[in-house]
Chain A
Amino acid sequence: MITELGHYALILALATALVQSLVPLIGAQRNDAGMMAVGPMAANLSFVLVAFSFLTLTYAYVISDFSVLNVVENSHSMKPMLYKITGVWGNHEGSMLLWVLILVLFSALVANFGRNLPDKLRANVLSAQAWITVAFLLFILLTSNPFMRLANPPAEGNDLNPILQDLGLAIHPPLLYLGYVGFSISFSFAIAALIEGRLDAAWARWVRPWTLVAWTFLTAGISMGSYWAYYELGWGGWWFWDPVENASFMPWLAGTALLHSALVMEKREALKVWTVLLSILTFSFSLLGTFLVRSGVLTSVHAFATDPARGVFILGILAVFIGGAFALFGLRATALRTGGLFAPISREGALVLNNLFLTTATATVLVGTLYPLLLEATTGTKISVGAPFFNLTFGPLMIPLMIAVPFGPLLAWKRGDLMGATQRLYAAIGISILVGLVVMAFTTDEPVLAAAGMAIGAFVILGALTDLVNRSGAGRLPAATAWARFKGLPRSAFGTAFAHAGLGITMIGVVAASVYSTEHVSAMNAGDTVEAGGYTVRFEGLRDVQGPNYTAKSGLFVISRGGAEVARVTSAKRFYPARQMPTTEAGIRTFGASQLYVALGDMESNGKLVVRVWWKSWVTFIWYGTVLMMIGGALSLSDRRLRIGAPRKAARPARTAEAVA
């Protein structure tokens, strides 16, 4: 009964979204306040209905209601409660419901927190949001209904894919969707601006916080997913350039570009048309990602149960929204007046350069992801594009961008002084070169490029610090004054510094983990040892473990250094009988920034166990860096200017304009 209510609520939500998609829009055209007021009401109602629907499905999972097909296929009565709940979105239907839940959540947030938006803009934004909601609710109801009942319920469910029975599933998809779907807001703002033909600095000021929220969550989602894949799959890799990873990375790259171009628009009223285009592009990449993952056009660790009807449906959504948005853009973009002249060497110029690199990088990722699909569709030839392709194309684009990052914040708006910026960076440049030389001195056989990568990473971090030092006037002014100025810096200045420093730290982690890590595969008896990263790993033996819904063979390893024991790790291979599937539970121990990673292989006929031990140099920097980026996003979001969010004209005293961003 409750399940049917959930299904019914979803149908009601569709009806509400249909109303929301038209009434406020017409109201905005006719300047009818009553019709426009329908928008926020409908947005809140849709949210309540979809949330109720989602809760009923969760309830069916919690009580293991095996008369619901979706529960049978993805749950098991013996599964721990946490995985019963997370299992709701561990499958195609449930995760689409979560997707829509987050979409209507964002609509409701705009409805409730966007009170200072002009009525027309808010009405148009809510209508545009509702179009997306209608499309995806139809998709769920017509092709992916999670509330399907079974006439003859089985006594036990098929269990959730064991790889997904992990805390990662509780965190990764919700964060990722908050990011993916969050970009729908900037998309809807862009559509609303095009419909109204009005676009000014205030628009950018309203869009930026939403973009920041989405970007911060997407950063968290991707980084969490990467760490999950790293520890769960047992391959020791943290990024595979898998098409589905790329699908989340493209909106991230485009969203990063959008954050920066919206800044130019907010401060200088320049790059208007480009910012609108990027808003559309970023969400288009989110939709493309949804299509790639759900349609079954590619093989990946993320493949969901596929059904041709779903692929065609999402392709339809993709065509309508991306095609429609670009058609609207083509029709109305010329109506948007451009403004804000600037010299090539200026803050704006630096941000344009940032956008050029980021969008080109997005394009290379897009080519690498779609080329195999297009080639197979047109010629039937099957190919795969792997890491070497991306390293050759994406890598060279990132290096100059990274070098440029520290210069950007040091250049003035309108007309900058490159020599002056360089002089301020002398210390950072000097220390970075030193870092590169030290790395080269200590690593004899490794490529010079790796040392250069470490130096560039250091330069990005030091550059971020230089910006803060420079703004506070440390060294130029008395210490007390400088400290007072430092404390008085806007939060967004710290946001920029944290995010940029995080980028540098991630880069150092990527380079170090790729180049200086070592791998040791060996067949071991109890008592055998392996040397890795200066540590000795001794295999103590295997024992059997019985889990709630699995059995496991768990190996104990003692890690010692210089003869003294420093740590013990267990590494296991689990077997889930319901799905007849094994999983690897790697044993990981962190030493400083590096990790020792132990994964079990198969038992050989002679009784030896194949064990893979990695020394992952500085690998944790990859994720520490992303955490800093998230902190940077949160700090920028808490900036007074965005917190108050009052639509003020960009014309403010020059000193403030220089200090922010």
Chain B
Amino acid sequence: MNRKQKRLSIIAGGAIFLAAAAALVMSALNDQIVFFSSPTDIHSRPVSPDTRIRLGGLVEEGTVIRGEGAKVTFKVTDTNDSVEVTYNGILPDLFREGQGVVAEGIYDPASRVFTADTILAKHDENYMPKEVADALKAQGVWQEGEGGPKPASANN
């Protein structure tokens, strides 16, 4: 092989390699991404029970019930609609009633129960996951300024 052929074969090899990697990425993006829904979305456009989704909203006040072992049920609301969630495990430190939460798992339209395997209460210092804040804004219940920095006394 002369220099040109050698270079061409290296470029071709690299291109095939990159194409394979791109195909891998595309297929993974098709299968492995998880869509975000609010409680209103989940009831208005139900998805099949084997699709993983992320449900975000506020933990409805007075709905947290601790069952046997580490089992917990609570309702997630966007103030317009709410969904019952069951979860078996330890809740994150920042999980509490009236605060934002994101649950990942599957929704069964028949029993209208969302079975979560992951509960996230990650958030910024305004105690609201970004997705949840956006969903609440979409519902028109978000008050601008409510999420702003609070004085020390009211800081929770």
- Mark A residues whose CB is within 8 Å of B: 72-73, 154, 156-158, 161, 234-235, 296, 298-301, 303-306, 341, 344, 352, 356, 360, 363-364, 367-368, 371-372, 381-386, 388-389, 392-393, 396-397, 521-523, 573, 578-584, 599, 601-602, 604-605, 610, 612
Residue of B nearest to A386 (CB): B34
Interface pairs A-B: 4 shortest CB-CB: A382-B36, A601-B90, A580-B156, A389-B32
- Interface on chain B toward A: helix, strand, loop, or mixed SS? mixed
**Min CB gap A155→B, angstroms:** 9
B122 and A602 contacting across the interface, CB-CB below 8 Å: no
A392 and B124 contacting across the interface, CB-CB below 8 Å: no
Taken together as a complex, chains A and B put the C-alpha atoms of A599 and B93 apart, in Å, by 11
What residues on B are CB-neighbors of A154 within 8 Å?
A: 152
Residue of A nearest to B67 (CB): A604
Stretch at the interface among B14-22, B74-82, B106-114: B14-22
Taken together as a complex, chains A and B put the C-alpha atoms of A605 and B70 apart, in Å, by 12
Taken together as a complex, chains A and B put the C-alpha atoms of A386 and B120 apart, in Å, by 13
- Mark B residues whose CB is within 8 Å of A: 3, 6, 9-10, 14, 17-18, 21, 24-25, 27-29, 31-36, 54, 66, 68-70, 88-94, 104, 122-125, 129-131, 134, 149, 152, 155-156
A612 and B90 contacting across the interface, CB-CB below 8 Å: yes
A158 and B25 contacting across the interface, CB-CB below 8 Å: no
B152 and A581 contacting across the interface, CB-CB below 8 Å: no
Taken together as a complex, chains A and B put the C-alpha atoms of A383 and B36 apart, in Å, by 5
- Interface on chain A toward B: helix, strand, loop, or mixed SS? mixed
B70 and A393 contacting across the interface, CB-CB below 8 Å: no
What residues on B are CB-neighbors of A381 within 8 Å?
A: 35
Taken together as a complex, chains A and B put the C-alpha atoms of A523 and B17 apart, in Å, by 51
Task: Give the A-B contact count at a CB cut-off of 8 A.
Answer: 128
Which among B6, B129, B152 is the interface contact of A158 at CB below 8 angstroms?
A: B152
A306 and B70 contacting across the interface, CB-CB below 8 Å: no
What residues on B are CB-neighbors of A397 within 8 Å?
A: 21
What residues on A are CB-neighbors of B25 within 8 Å?
A: 364, 367-368, 393
**Min CB gap B29→A, angstroms:** 7
What residues on A are CB-neighbors of B91 within 8 Å?
A: 601-602
A298 and B69 contacting across the interface, CB-CB below 8 Å: no
A602 and B66 contacting across the interface, CB-CB below 8 Å: yes
What residues on A are CB-neighbors of B90 within 8 Å?
A: 234, 521, 599, 601-602, 610, 612
Taken together as a complex, chains A and B put the C-alpha atoms of A602 and B93 apart, in Å, by 9
Taken together as a complex, chains A and B put the C-alpha atoms of A435 and B18 apart, in Å, by 32
Which among B29, B130, B131 is the interface contact of A385 at CB below 8 angstroms?
A: B29
Which among A303, A356, A521 is the interface contact of B89 at CB below 8 angstroms?
A: A521
**Min CB gap A583→B, angstroms:** 6
Which among A578, A583, A604 is the interface contact of B93 at CB below 8 angstroms?
A: A583
What residues on B are CB-neighbors of A522 within 8 Å?
A: 69-70
B34 and A383 contacting across the interface, CB-CB below 8 Å: yes
A384 and B93 contacting across the interface, CB-CB below 8 Å: no
**Min CB gap A3→B, angstroms:** 20
